[in-house]
A and B are shown apart, each in its own frame.
Chain A
């Protein structure tokens, strides 16, 4: 199962490090990362794979939210299905 993580906020040192170390701890594999500045907002998008992990998306979501609060950015996670449904036929 794959999911998409988005990080929005102001850029600072250590965002990727912190998020990816949390993912590593949960054995969630990062398949792709892209980052850009959209309308002056730092935007990072990660595609991650849960197939080797015992962790659920909802559990990771709670930890990512905490992680986001510490970093002062907003982090969301969603099953890739919602994006595929909306944008691919």
Chain B
């Protein structure tokens, strides 16, 4: 039998240190729903999702009760809708079908209202992307992502320019909720096809019919483990994080196996990301501070995050049969109590966040900037993040909210897991001539591996 100390360690992780399974996400292919009539095709989308994911929420809740581990979110990701709907147009009908299907199945978000345009656009892609603001403003649970660059293809700067405008328009259309639509919109470089986390989840075209991907969490558990090795050198710090990540991930693997078996859907991957929530004690920033930083953002922050990210992967990889998704520490400002504090007191800046994204997943995430930030400045930020991702062969992303009518120092409340974001300053010098050039930034030298 497992001994008392081990049992109490697990119970404490769950009760006191916020260990949870962040999400069980069912990926569903919609390629067989394509048709030349939008009403019929969107109907097929609704039917397929509601049939496949009929029991997702119930089984998630059953596993939660049986194993005593909270499973915070049950979600669905689908084939990027630009691919499904290009032959019939009527894109927003698909957004409505996704929203209805999410409501019917009881999931809180459904991801995949997106496009893959990292090298170029089809005519349909351009039209589709223009519908994103309306789709996000008129639906509750639909999330959108657009991939605008990859290490193999370079960066589609036309798409970068368009996405700056799309983010602005989304913020304007959802101004009554402080630009909440932008919290459901991610611009990626090197997007992954099996990411279970929202808002960037979609079911890639290389995936099977349907799949179960699981995202674990537990920043609080890592922080508490580090409290026990105060002052120890970095070898000990890394080892402690690895051990903790191993234990956390084993639970993720268990839940993934169980969900896969009960739903009759193949297991895909466990995503090893450390995902914070606004709850005190569930913060990635606090882990960095526990390593000896007065505030997240202080010199040393990038190194601390690099160590954390690497150790989580090393520990987690050994605990799961298939690792995938984004697998790294998240740094969403509004969703992390420590990041919010650090941004409010001026320790954490947009430039420091950009540096941090070089060593972790995913990017400039849930950052609120003033409402009068130009579309070009947002495009410039997207280009910078994409460059980091493309050159370093990693995923990067931008999920930024130019909150209408808000200025630096204001606080924007999103509520729930999305938290509250302080409006942060963004460099206001002009980059519009740079963004106006368009075209494609070539793939880096090291993409030529064949």
Interface residues of A (CB under 8 A from B): 4, 6, 8, 32, 34, 36, 38, 43, 45, 47, 56-58, 61, 76-88
Contacting A at CB under 8 A, from B1-29, are: 1-2, 4, 6-11, 15
Q: Is B69 an interface residue (CB 8 A)?
A: yes
Q: Is the CB of B253 within 8 A of A85?
A: yes
B24 smallest CB distance to A (angstroms): 15
Q: Is the CB of B247 within 8 A of A82?
A: no
Question: With A4-B2, A47-B1, A83-B2 known to touch, is A78 a contact of B8 (CB < 8 Å)?
Answer: no
Contacting A at CB under 8 A, from B277-310, are: none
Q: How long is the Cα–Cα vector from A65 to B93 in the complex, in angstroms?
A: 46
Q: Is the CB of A88 within 8 A of B65?
A: no
Choose from A36, A38, A58, A88 the contact partner of B2 (Cβ within 8 Å): A88
Q: Is the CB of A34 within 8 A of B68?
A: no
| Shortest 8 CB-CB contacts between residues of A and residues of B | A78-B68, A58-B65, A85-B254, A87-B6, A85-B250, A83-B2, A57-B66, A82-B67
A42 smallest CB distance to B (angstroms): 12
B13 smallest CB distance to A (angstroms): 8
Provide 6 A-B residue pairs closer than 8 Å at the C-beta atoms, listed in order of the A residue.
A45-B8, A58-B65, A58-B66, A61-B65, A82-B10, A82-B251
Q: Is B384 an interface residue (CB 8 A)?
A: no
Q: Is B104 an interface residue (CB 8 A)?
A: no
Chain B interface, >50% SS class: helix
Q: Is the CB of B4 within 8 A of A56?
A: no
Q: Is the CB of A86 within 8 A of B251?
A: yes
Choose from B1, B69, B250 the contact partner of A78 (Cβ within 8 Å): B69
Choose from A4, A6, A76, A81 the contact partner of B254 (Cβ within 8 Å): A81
Residue on A nearest B63 in the bound complex, by CB? A79
Q: Is the CB of A76 within 8 A of B6?
A: no
Q: How long is the Cα–Cα vector from A23 to B9 in the complex, in angstroms?
A: 25
Extra pairs beyond A36-B4, A82-B69 (13, CB < 8 Å): A8-B11, A38-B4, A45-B4, A56-B66, A58-B65, A76-B68, A78-B67, A78-B69, A81-B254, A82-B67, A86-B10, A86-B247, A87-B2
Q: Is the CB of B68 within 8 A of A86?
A: no
